[in-house]
Amino acid sequence: MLQKTKSYLKTMLSVGKMFFCALILMGLSFSAWGAPVTLEYWHFYGAEVGREHENLVAEFNRLHPDIQVNVLYGGTAWTMRDRLFLALSGNQGPDVASIDQFWISQLADSGHAVPLDELIKSSPSMQHDDVFPLYWNTAVYEDQIWSMPFSMSNLVLYYNRGLLEELSLGEEDLPRTWDQLLEIGTAVAEREGGPKLAAILDLPLLAAKGNMYPWVAFLWQNGGELFSPGFDQVEFQSPAGVETMSFWKELQNKGLISAHTPEKAWESGKVLFQIASSARMLTNYRHLDFSFGIAPLPRKDFRVTGVGGSNLALFAKEEQKQAAAWTFIEWITSPETNLEWSLRTGYAPLRRSAYSSRAFQEAMDENPDLKAAFQEILYARCRPNIPSYGDISRELGYAIEEVMLLGAKPEEALKKAAVISNKILQGQ
Amino acid sequence: MRLPGMRAGKKSKLKRSLSGSLALVLPSLFIFLLFELVPVIYSFYLSFTDWTLGRTAHQVVGLGNFKALGQDLELRQAVLRTGKYSLFTAFFSALGGIVLALLLRGGRRERPLSKTVLLIPSIVPFVVIASLWTWIYDPYYGIANWLLSRAGVAGPAWLTSPRWALTALIIMAVWREMGYNALILLAGLGAISGEVLESSLIDGCTKFQSWIYIVLPLLKNSLFFVLAIQIIRGFEVFGPIYTMTGGGPAKATTTMVYYMYQKAFQSYQVGYGAAVSWVIVLITFFFFFMIWKGFRGVE
């Protein structure tokens, strides 16, 4: 009897154990099935753009209960770069991140970034051809797509309407060419009386402020090139490069531009013109207490402007996370979200469909500045994605400083930068 | 007479007290080893590799990085610039510290409030100070040039002129460090007996002579500490350069640590950057040693 009871109890205990294990397993699988996939997303959008961006991510989280995107603001582009590369080196990086176009060669070579060609091809909603080819150029490295274009902008000429009026100038007097810029700027510099200006043209002349970006646009306008077609040597020291540098020097000599223009001079309303990113118009400059307008960059032989902004890189390797991260990228660059993002921030529409949408056309009709800025897309060019671009652009930035601040001759400063840059290109 | 029992008791008490102390020290020791010593050793190892930032794999290249450093003209210029920054900052902040300490010595002025006020610049985060001084140095709206204009002098473009940028950073660092130095020197002055000074005055010394021949030699240890700390801080300067000048204009403020940062993070050459960091350690140690030797000779 005792034996029987013992055996019965043993059986019951085994059944109980099995039932308990099954319950735990079911619970685990239910919780795994029910829990959203969590993604870590790092970006470097600050201030108003940052707020708009985080609102957009919150919208994604609301619409996708199965995916939770955790946002981390990485500071400026530079602090973000340091943080991202260090984290990736320790295999602790995010699943998705906003990146500067030029980081992609290092991220691809190091094996951290996931190539996107196959994902794009197999995605019905991505519609490769809907994205302007110009923007794909920012994402391609060695014939593969390594990032998804997201926030694109181009250089434009801002002008202060009030100051223009005070100087008895009309919008028809806006400089369309280099010569006109020099002529109008010199007349303003040499005038007697009128408004006190902190600068006539706010143009970054220091390497730390990104002097390279507008300088390259001027170089292209003058028919020059940064690199030879095979990227085996630099060509910015060409006669076109020397002439571009000499033109900047002349602007400085005539008092149009200065390396010592105070911080936030444009925002203070005491600068007539500024060459800056189109993306500032609806965010940073939204609350300025003066009226401003937008015009194309003054041109020389060619009408060209530079492309800037940031792309999205995918780092998640694990299948489920990668799929979720791709869903996030698809959604945030979809025609609808892209249109919304452009209208909220002033970043250029990535897609033809967003650009030609009724909402966007109406917005452009209502705001001629928006139209002026986005028409420049047709004339925009992006800088090349090669691993040594960062170092070479820094050398060129120093050459600009040497000419503008130390009085070096344009041809000598450019030649010196070219020697160093060619060594960098050859990996010496 | 020493009883065996007593000895054993003392020993076990000592043992207990040692293990108690060790238990208190262990957490800090662990953090120090993990976050200070291990990275230092690892950076020494990295200096012999070709590690590129972002990659996980790397190769040992022996003395390759150090050989390249020998021919690096930019590094040489950065060393000279850093030496200039460090020595000027150390000298003027120590001098300012002495003056402040002498002004505050004794009486009502040497109160906790004065000491707290002195310490404020050195405890405020550098980013805040950098932001403050960027506006002070603004060529149009800055208070520095406004004050100079009151004196009839046209102020320079402090941070955007290659001629003035390093000087501007030195002035800021002297302002920041002076109060800290004054506190150390004030403590040193407090240890000097008033009787010694009184007797020197009775013996016919002027006040100036008693400061030069009595106070300063007796302040030797505090002064050595102040100068050594300032030299070390000067050689490791990075924050103000990163936030205010970005190493420019025209490389005028690219110091050794900033150069190391450029190599490691902008050019992605972490191995080379680590080698630069060890050169910085050696140079700092050399200057420290020279000051130490100099002070040993002072009696």
pLDDT for A252-299, tens place per residue? 999 999 988 888 899 999 999 999 999 888 877 888 999 999 999 999
Identify which of A105, A201, A130, A205 has the alpha carbon closest to the alpha carbon of residue A160: A201
Task: Chain B: give the shortest CA distance to residue A317, in Å.
Answer: 16
With respect to residue A87, please indicate whether it lies within any of the assigned structural domains: yes
Q: What pLDDT, on a 0 to 100 scale, did the predictor assign at position A8?
A: 59
Q: Which residues contact B228 (CB under 8 A, 6 or more apart)?
A: B288, B291, B292
The domain boundary residue, chosen from A362, A381, A400? A381
Which residue type sits at A388?
S
ipTM: 0.79
What is the C-alpha separation between A136 and A315, in angstroms, rounded? 19
- Residue B193 reports pLDDT greater than 90: no
Minimum mean pLDDT range among A53-67, A299-313, A364-378: A364-378
Which residue type sits at A96?
V
Q: What pLDDT, on a 0 to 100 scale, did the predictor assign at position A191?
A: 86
Instruction: Convert the pLDDT of each residue in A93-135 to its tens digit.
Output: 999 999 998 899 989 988 999 999 999 999 988 889 999 999 9
Q: Are residues A253 and A402 in the same domain?
A: yes
Residues of B in contact with A262 (CB under 8 A): 138-141
Instruction: Convert the pLDDT of each residue in A150-193 to its tens digit.
Output: 999 999 999 999 999 999 999 899 999 999 999 999 999 988 87
Q: Are residues A316 and A289 in the same domain?
A: no
pLDDT tier at A7, thresholds 50, 70, 90: low
Domains held by chain A: number: 2
CATH number at residue A274: 3.40.190.10
Instruction: Name which of A84, A85, A271 to mutate to probe chain B: the one with the most chain B Cβ atoms within 10 A of its Cβ.
Output: A85
- Residue A249 reports pLDDT greater than 60: yes
Instruction: Convert the pLDDT of each residue in B89-98 to its tens digit.
Output: 999 999 999 9
Q: What pLDDT, on a 0 to 100 scale, did the predictor assign at position B115?
A: 78
Identify which of B176, B171, B175 has the alpha carbon closest to the alpha carbon of residue B156: B171
Looking at per-residue pLDDT, the higher value among A417 and B141 belongs to A417
Q: Are residues A194 and A260 in the same domain?
A: yes
Domain residue extents for chain B: 82-296
Q: Are residues A181 and A287 in the same domain?
A: yes
- Residue B146 reports pLDDT greater than 60: yes
- Residue A36 in contact with residue A67, Cβ under 8 Å? yes
Q: Does B54 touch chain A (CB under 8 A)?
A: yes
Percent of chain A whose predicted confidence (pLDDT) is above 70:
92
Q: What pLDDT, on a 0 to 100 scale, did the predictor assign at position A426?
A: 87
Q: What pLDDT, on a 0 to 100 scale, did the predictor assign at position B277?
A: 95
Q: Which helix (DSSP H) or strand (DSSP E) does residue A153 occupy?
A: strand A148-160
- Residue A214 in contact with residue A204, Cβ under 8 Å? yes
Find the chain A residues whose C-beta atoms sit closer than 8 A to any C-beta of B: 81-82, 85-86, 88-89, 91, 106-107, 109-112, 198, 206-208, 259-260, 262-263, 265, 390-391, 394, 398, 401-402, 405-406
With respect to residue A24, please indicate whether it lies within any of the assigned structural domains: no
Q: Are residues A121 and A182 in the same domain?
A: no
How many interface pairs between A and B have CB atoms less than 8 angstroms apart? 75
Q: Assign B26 to helix, strand or coil.
A: helix
Residues A208, B246: C-beta atoms closer than 8 Å:
yes
Q: Which residue of A has its CA nearest to B246?
A: A208
- Residue B58 in contact with residue B279, Cβ under 8 Å? no
* CATH architecture assigned to B82-296: Orthogonal Bundle (1.10)
Q: Which helix (DSSP H) or strand (DSSP E) does residue B248 occupy?
A: none
Task: Chain A: give the shortest CA distance to residue B93, in Å.
Answer: 29
Percent of chain A whose predicted confidence (pLDDT) is above 90:
68
Q: Are residues A282 and A187 in the same domain?
A: yes
Identify which of A88, A54, A82, A67 has the alpha carbon closest to the alpha carbon of residue A315: A88
With respect to residue A373, please indicate whether it lies within any of the assigned structural domains: yes
Q: Are residues A185 and A301 in the same domain?
A: yes
- Residue A1 reports pLDDT greater than 60: no
**Domain hosting residue A231, numbered range:** 154-307+383-425
Task: State the average pLDDT for chain A.
Answer: 90
Q: What pLDDT, on a 0 to 100 scale, did the predictor assign at position A149?
A: 95
- Residue A28 reports pLDDT greater than 60: no
pLDDT tier at B22, thresholds 50, 70, 90: confident
**Residue holding tokens 């970034």?**
A113
pLDDT tier at A23, thresholds 50, 70, 90: low
- Residue A75 reports pLDDT greater than 70: yes
Q: What pLDDT, on a 0 to 100 scale, did the predictor assign at position A24?
A: 55
Q: Are residues A377 and A397 in the same domain?
A: no
Task: Chain B: give the shortest CA distance to residue A423, in Å.
Answer: 14
Which two three-digit tokens encode residue B67? 């050989």
pLDDT tier at A30, thresholds 50, 70, 90: very low
- Residue B10 reports pLDDT greater than 90: no
Q: Are residues A209 and A266 in the same domain?
A: yes
Which two three-digit tokens encode residue A227? 């690199």
Q: What pLDDT, on a 0 to 100 scale, did the predictor assign at position B295?
A: 80
What is the C-alpha separation between A119 and A329, in angstroms, rounded? 11
Over range B244-267, report the average pLDDT: 92
What is the C-alpha separation between B176 and B121, in angstroms, rounded? 5
Q: Which helix (DSSP H) or strand (DSSP E) does residue B99 occupy?
A: helix B73-104
Residues B141, A262: C-beta atoms closer than 8 Å:
yes
With respect to residue A31, please indicate whether it lies within any of the assigned structural domains: no
Q: Are residues A302 and A314 in the same domain?
A: no
With respect to residue A233, please indicate whether it lies within any of the assigned structural domains: yes
Q: Assign A293 to helix, strand or coil.
A: strand
Q: Are residues A297 and A313 in the same domain?
A: no
